[in-house]
């Protein structure tokens, strides 16, 4: 779990620095930074789409995953939790839920998160997660300076997601073939594009309801 622990610490430290920066940012610059981050997120999403090779897996994953997400209404649950936390901490400057969702997706949908966690659990090799921690540290600073406190909460999602992959690596590694990992990255990248459109104000997708789709390729790639 060392790699995941370092990653969580990097997110928390970067997020804390970002909150300090946010206090001195004028609204005009805050809005401009949000747009810039949205465009960068879109670029990351478009780049990750190239990982996928099977369009049918992408389509089926999005359909099945979205049906699951809508049935549970994950987006509504996260928003309710975020509103509760925001009321308790009297957090100002942005939605806690929006910051949590945006940062969690950015930190966890890529191949580095999956492969790094598996390497950590199977071989005790933390190099990929250490490299990812550096990237996430910088991203956490930028995102917290725009979204606020919710970005720090995403460290909990990183811990749960990557920690589970690491601890269960021996059992789930047969499901996470190179093909499955590539398709999971592709689905996650498409969701990042939806997130980016929300960030720059062009849409209001319930992005969290798409998240179950990320895990569907693990099953589909066994048969396709």
pLDDT of residue 11: 94
Express each pLDDT in 192-213 by its tens digit: 899 899 888 888 888 889 989 9
Confidence class for position 106, pLDDT limits 50, 70, 90: confident
Confidence class for position 169, pLDDT limits 50, 70, 90: confident
- Res. 7: pLDDT tops 90: yes
Domain of 17 in residue numbering reads as 2-223
Count up the domains in the chain and report the number.
1
- Res. 186: pLDDT tops 60: yes
pTM above 0.85, yes or no: no
CA nearest neighbour of 224 among 183, 167, 172, 193: 183
The rounded mean pLDDT for the chain is 86
- CA–CA gap between residue 204 and residue 221 (Å, rounded): 31
pLDDT of residue 220: 92
pLDDT of residue 89: 64
């Amino acid at each position: 779990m060392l790699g995941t622990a370092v990653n969580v610490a990097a997110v928390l430290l970067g997020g804390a620095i970002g909150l300090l920066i946010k206090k001195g940012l004028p609204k005009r610059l805050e809005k401009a930074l949000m747009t810039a981050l949205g465009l960068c997120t879109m670029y990351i999403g478009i780049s990750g789409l190239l990982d996928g090779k099977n369009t049918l897996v992408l389509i089926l994953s999005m359909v099945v995953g979205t049906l699951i997400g809508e049935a549970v209404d994950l987006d509504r649950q996260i928003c309710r939790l975020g509103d509760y936390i925001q009321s308790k901490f009297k957090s100002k400057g942005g939605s806690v839920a929006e910051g949590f969702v945006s940062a969690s997706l950015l930190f966890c949908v890529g191949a580095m998160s999956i492969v790094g966690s598996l390497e950590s659990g199977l071989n005790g090799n933390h190099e990929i997660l250490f490299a990812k921690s550096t990237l996430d540290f910088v991203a956490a600073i930028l995102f917290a300076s725009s979204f606020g406190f919710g970005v720090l909460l995403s460290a909990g999602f990183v811990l749960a997601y990557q920690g589970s992959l690491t601890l269960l690596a021996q059992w789930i590694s047969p499901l996470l073939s190179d093909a499955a990992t590539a398709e999971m990255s592709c689905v996650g990248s498409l969701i990042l594009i939806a997130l980016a459109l929300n960030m720059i104000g062009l849409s209001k997708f319930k992005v969290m309801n798409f998240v179950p789709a990320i895990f569907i390729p693990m099953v589909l790639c066994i048969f396709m």
